[in-house]
Amino acid sequence: MPETIARLAIVGPGLIGTSVSLAARRRWPGLDVRLVDRADPIETMGDAPVVVLAAPVDAIIGILPRLARVVSPQALVLDTGSTKHAIMMAAAAAGIPQFVGGHPMAGGATSGPGEARADLFDGQPWFLTNPDAPDAVHRAVKFVEALGAHAVVLSDHGQEHDRLMAAVSHLPQVTANALMIAVVRAVGTDNLHWAGNGLRDTTRLAASGAAMWESVLASNSRELKPLLKTLAADLSALADGLDDRDLVRRFFEEAVRAKSCL
Amino acid sequence: MPETIARLAIVGPGLIGTSVSLAARRRWPGLDVRLVDRADPIETMGDAPVVVLAAPVDAIIGILPRLARVVSPQALVLDTGSTKHAIMMAAAAAGIPQFVGGHPMAGGATSGPGEARADLFDGQPWFLTNPDAPDAVHRAVKFVEALGAHAVVLSDHGQEHDRLMAAVSHLPQVTANALMIAVVRAVGTDNLHWAGNGLRDTTRLAASGAAMWESVLASNSRELKPLLKTLAADLSALADGLDDRDLVRRFFEEAVRAKSCL
């Protein structure tokens, strides 16, 4: 059974933060939730026993040193940033004893509290990690499961998470952006109505705003850069081999095999 | 009113060819449709007044010289290949007087007659071109409108069509393939279950088989190659600038602006 909590503080009332609030109130009706926006002093969170940091990655990294002076040493502090290693290092440096790095696999191309839902996390993986604070991780598992999520505990300080996300999340995002830009530069917006569902689906992610992504890419450049370089080299090599039927056939066959596993 | 036809020959009974058959029978019940597969002698089509070539681009180019000896000079010959300029040149060289290049914007990631539908073309654009045979184009417009499509007549020999398709169709296809391959090479198929809908949608096209694409890419390499080279250069430049917040912000803002038009 998850622990009963009386108060919850959420820093960053966007899509994820507001959904955490709705999911927590679904589980614990009457729960006192304090939403802290970027204009609010960090002290407005009061002495909540559970604090969720749902701001962009760089905002979380900026808050952590100040947070250490505000929260009680017993408070569980959980973040929801899209990259983990830089945040884990910042939390350790800030000296927050019950910190757990977290990443709910939820959200979408749009953001903001207007899309928030109490069931956003239901059945979705929620990564959790801090091998140096097993009791805090145990509490965090109970908390995210109470929100409906499927807790996935990682054994390192976020490096494996960041490596995986660079491939399955950050690379598709950046590729969708670059493709959308390339198509419009080539044919202009007036010719986009000739596109079928193929271009539409392939670029769905390109509607995502920059706000959260700036710090995601900056905090994961070490993992993402080599993937982007490899993809660029593959596309360039293919460009030189478009007339080579064997090469094109093998390229399509490898893609079909890979896609069949997704 | 579209002309009434008594017989229709279709070379290539795959998704498009079989859907042409179904849509034509919906419009003209009792129509005599002859489906010619790759194993059949081309003569099995008989003396149909309308012939639709729905084979892959290279198969169409291979059939055209033999077709000139089989069809009557009055027969409307319409193809459905995904690129047009190479086919237009081959038809002119073969001396088929009533030839019209065509491309229905229909189909999907899967192919084959099992997915065929009588309403596949309803309301969809169907490009038609041959500025040297306006009467044939007029007949082709009536024919594809009878199948439910929206005829779009092009004024050149397919060059503009091929330039547009390189951007809105061929580039997204190849990008989806390359992304799917890059992700699996980076993290293995065992980690694909961590992917959200973003990777799934961005790589939907990667399920497309090689069969039709080999000749599409080969026949449009002149248009597609520079687009691929530019996309590769953009991805490589971005890889070097992941820590540059202004560059990443402008990249996302340009993508959002472009996507808002699609």
* pLDDT, tens only, A56-91: 999 999 999 999 999 999 999 999 999 999 999 999
Specify the amino acid at residue B203: T
- Give the pLDDT band (50/70/90) at residue A216: very high
pLDDT of A109 above 70: no
What tokens were used for A22? 């709705």
Nearest-angstrom CA–CA distance, A231 and B180: 10
Number of domains in chain A: 2
- State which of A135, A156, A177 marks the end of a domain: A156
Question: For residue B131, how many C-alpha atoms fall within 13 Å in the half-sphere facing its CB?
Answer: 9
Residues B38 and B116 in one domain: yes
Residues A149 and A87 in one domain: yes
Question: Would you state the pLDDT for residue A5?
Answer: 83
Residues A86 and A134 in one domain: yes
- Spatial CB neighbours of B30, under 8 Å, sequence gap ≥ 6: none
Question: Would you state the pLDDT for residue A103?
Answer: 96
Residue of chain A nearest B257, judged by CA positions: A207
- Spatial CB neighbours of B10, under 8 Å, sequence gap ≥ 6: B17, B18, B20, B21, B33, B34, B35, B36, B51, B52, B54
Containing domain of residue A132, as a range?
7-156
- Spatial CB neighbours of A229, under 8 Å, sequence gap ≥ 6: B236, B239
Residue B27 lies in a domain: yes
Chain-centroid distance of CA A19 in Å reads 14
- Spatial CB neighbours of B253, under 8 Å, sequence gap ≥ 6: A210
The interface predicted TM-score of the complex, written ipTM, equals 0.91
Residue B2 lies in a domain: no
Residues of B in contact with A196 (CB under 8 A): 105, 168-169
Residue B176 lies in a domain: yes
Residues B229 and B99 in one domain: no
What tokens were used for A38? 């970027």
Residues A42 and A127 in one domain: yes
* pLDDT, tens only, A44-54: 888 899 999 99
What are the residue ranges in chain B where pLDDT is below 70? 1-3, 107-111
Residues B127 and B196 in one domain: no
Residues A45 and A173 in one domain: no
> How many other CB atoms sit within 10 Å of the CB of residue B10?
27
- What is the average pLDDT across A3-20? 91
Question: Would you state the pLDDT for residue A6?
Answer: 85
Residue A63 lies in a domain: yes
- What is the average pLDDT across A109-123? 85
3-class secondary-structure state, position B7: strand
Please tell me which of the candidates A194, A240, A258 has its beta carbon nearest to residue B181.
A258
Residue B1 lies in a domain: no
Are A178 and B240 in contact (CB < 8 Å)?
no
Residues B26 and B61 in one domain: yes
Residues B255 and B243 in one domain: yes
Mutation choice for A interface testing from B175, B215, B227 by most A CBs within 10 A: B175
- State which of A140, A156, A172 marks the end of a domain: A156
Question: Would you state the pLDDT for residue A1?
Answer: 42
Residues A110 and A233 in one domain: no
Are B242 and A217 in contact (CB < 8 Å)?
yes
Any idea what the CATH number is for the domain that residue B27 is in? 3.40.50.720
Residues A53 and A65 in one domain: yes
Strands (E), chain A: 7-11, 32-36, 50-53, 76-79, 99-104, 125-129, 150-153
Helix (H) or strand (E) holding B128: strand B125-129
Question: Would you state the pLDDT for residue A113?
Answer: 82
Are B168 and A189 in contact (CB < 8 Å)?
no
Question: Would you state the pLDDT for residue B211?
Answer: 83
Any idea what the CATH number is for the domain that residue A170 is in? 1.10.3660.10
Residue B76 lies in a domain: yes
- State which of A156, A174, A203 marks the end of a domain: A156
pLDDT of A201 above 90: yes
